[in-house]
Structure 1
Amino acid sequence: AFGRALARTHDAGAAAFGAPPSGWDGPLYIGRLVQPASAERSWGAFYARDRVEVFLRPAVDAGNLAADDVPLVERACAVIADGVFDDDDPPSRLHGDLWNGNVLFSRDGVVLIDPAAHGGHRETDLAMLELFGCPHLEEVIEGYRLTHPLREGWVQRIPVHQLHPLAVHAVGHGPAYGAALVDAARRTLALSGRS
C-alpha cells in the first residue's frame, strides 16, 4: 500500500524540476539545511547544481569530504548536468527526504513525515529508501511497480540518485558519508561510460 501511495504522489507531478509545492514561496529545507528552489526543464542540470554541488563546499568545510575528492564528484555532476541520465519522465512530486526515519509504520498504514518536497525524479525517493534501509523495501517497490512501472535500469542508477542524500549527510553526519559520496560518484561515472 505504501508503494502504491508513493507512486501516486510522484504521479501528481510538479511544475518543474526543483519547483516547491504549489503555493509555497518560502525557503526549501532538507533537515536544517537550505536547498535551492528552481524551475528547470532538465532534471540533470537541476540535480547536479541544486542537490549535489550546493553541498560540496559545506561538506569540505565540515571536514567530512576531502578537498582532493571534490573534483571527482564535480566530474560526476558534470555528466549528470549534461543530461546523460535525463529521460522523458516529467517532474515528479518528491517527498525529498525519504529515509526510513521519515517513514512511520502504524496500524492504519504508513505515514510520511518531515518532507523536503520539490519537483524531482521519482527514482531519487526510491534510492533514498534503499540507502537507509527502509523496512519491507521489496514489498514497497512491488506496490510501486503495480501503480507506476519503473524504467529499465533503475536499480543500476541508484548511485546517481544517492548523490544528493550522501552530499547532505556529508555536511553534518561525518566523514563516512563523504567517503560514500565519492564512491557513488565513481559508480555514477562508470555507469555513464565517462570514468
Structure 2
Amino acid sequence: MTQTLAQRLAELDDAFRGDLMPLSGGDSGASVWRLTAATPLIVKCDRPERLAGEADGLAALAAAAEALVVPRVVALAGDLLVMEALDASGPRDDERLGEGLRQLHAATRAPGADHGWARDNACGLTPQPNATLADGRVFQRERRLLPLVRACRDRGLLDAALAARVERVAATLESWVADQPPSLVHGDLWSGNVLFTPRGPAIIDPAVYRHYPEVDVAMLSLFGDPGAAFHEAYWNGHSPDDWPRREALFQLYPLLNHLYLFGAGYRDGVARAAAQVLAG
C-alpha cells in the first residue's frame, strides 16, 4: 500500500516524493501518513466525498480564522488529501485559543443566514447532514439530535425511555433557547483536534457548518476542560447565566455520536446531559 501510495503521490506532483510514515487516523477511519518531502506534508486516504468535505471545511476556516492556525490544503485528488504538516511543538496557550475561537465566531456571525452548510460532511465516521434551515432550534432538532436518536435506536443503543427524554429536549428548545444568527463552527472541536504550534493554536480535522457558536465550546469541554484562561478569553468575562444548561444541550449531539460509533459506554453521558437540560 505504501509503495503504491508513494507512486500515486509522485505522479500527482514531483514535490510529493519522500518517505511515508503511517500515523493514526483517529476516529475518522481515514488512513493517514506523514510525508517527509522537502516541505513536510500530511496525506489522508479516504472516501472522496469525506475528503472533499474536510478540504472545504479547512478552506472556510482558513479564510475566516485570522487568529488561529489552519493547515493549508495542498492537493485534493479523489481519495487523497494532501495538507501542510503542522509543528505541534509550540507552548500551550489556552488564552490565545479562547481569543482565536471568539474572534472566529464573531467575525463569521451572519444575520439573516441559515443554519447549516452548503454540503453535507462527516463528524468522525458519521455522515453529518447540513441541509440549511432558517431557525437554529429547528436545525439542532432536525439535523443533529433526532437523526442520531433514530440511528442509536436502530442499533439498540437507546432504550425507549432515554430516547423519549432526548426527544423531549429536542421538542422544547423553543421554550428556552433564543434563535440567533449563526456563526461558522469547527463542528468537531475536541481536544485532539487542537494543536499548539510555534505560530499559535491550530485547529484541524473540521466538520464545519453554521450554527450556535457554543457548539465548539461545549465540544472542547466534553472530554477535558480547556482551562480557566480559555473560558475567560472566550467569554470575555461574561459567560451566559444558563451556560451549564446550554453546554449540556450542545454536548448531546457529540455524546449521541459517540454512543452510535463506540457503543453503550456513552449511554450514561447522554442520560446525564439530557437530565441537565430538562432540569432547567
TM range (shorter): 0.7 to 0.9
Q: Could you say which structure has the larger radius of gyration? A: 2
TM-score for both structures, normalised by structure 1? 0.84
Q: Give structure 1 stretches of 5+ with no counterpart.
A: none
Match of 2:240 in 1: 151
Match of 1:96 in 2: 187
Match of 2:165 in 1: 72
Deviations 1:7-51 (A, max 9, x none): 111121253212x2xxxx442211121111132232111101211
In the TM superposition, structure 1's runs of 4+ consecutive aligned residues that sit over 6 Å from their partners are none
Contact 1:63 1:175 in 2 (8 A): no
Match of 1:49 in 2: 142
Give, in whole Å, the separation in 2 of the partners of 1:187 and 1:30: 24
Deviations 1:119-144 (A, max 9, x none): 1111121111111114x421111111
The alignment of Structure 1 onto Structure 2 pairs a total of residues equal to 182
Match of 1:105 in 2: 196
Q: Among the aligned pairs, what percent are the same residue?
A: 34
Contact 2:136 2:211 in 1 (8 A): yes
Q: 1:115 aligns with which of 206, 215, 220?
A: 206
Greater relative contact order (Cα < 8 A, sep 6+): 1
Q: What's the secondary structure of 2:109's corresponding residue? A: coil
Match of 1:30 in 2: 123
Give, in whole Å, the separation in 2 of the partners of 1:156 and 1:186: 10
Contact 1:94 1:120 in 2 (8 A): yes
Match of 1:170 in 2: 259
Higher strand share: 2
Tell me: CA distance 1:152–1:185, structure 2 relative to 1, closer, same or farther (3 Å).
same
1:182 aligns with 2:271: yes
Give, in whole Å, the separation in 1 of the partners of 2:264 and 2:210: 29
Match of 2:178 in 1: 87
Q: Give structure 2 stretches of 5+ with no counterpart.
A: 1-95
Deviation at 1:88, TM superposition (A): 5.2
Tell me: CA distance 1:90–1:26, structure 2 relative to 1, closer, same or farther (3 Å).
closer
1:61 aligns with 2:154: yes
TM-score for both structures, normalised by structure 2? 0.60
Aligned-pair Cα RMSD in Å: 1.9
Deviations 1:43-93 (A, max 9, x none): 11110121111111222333432244211111111112xx12332531111
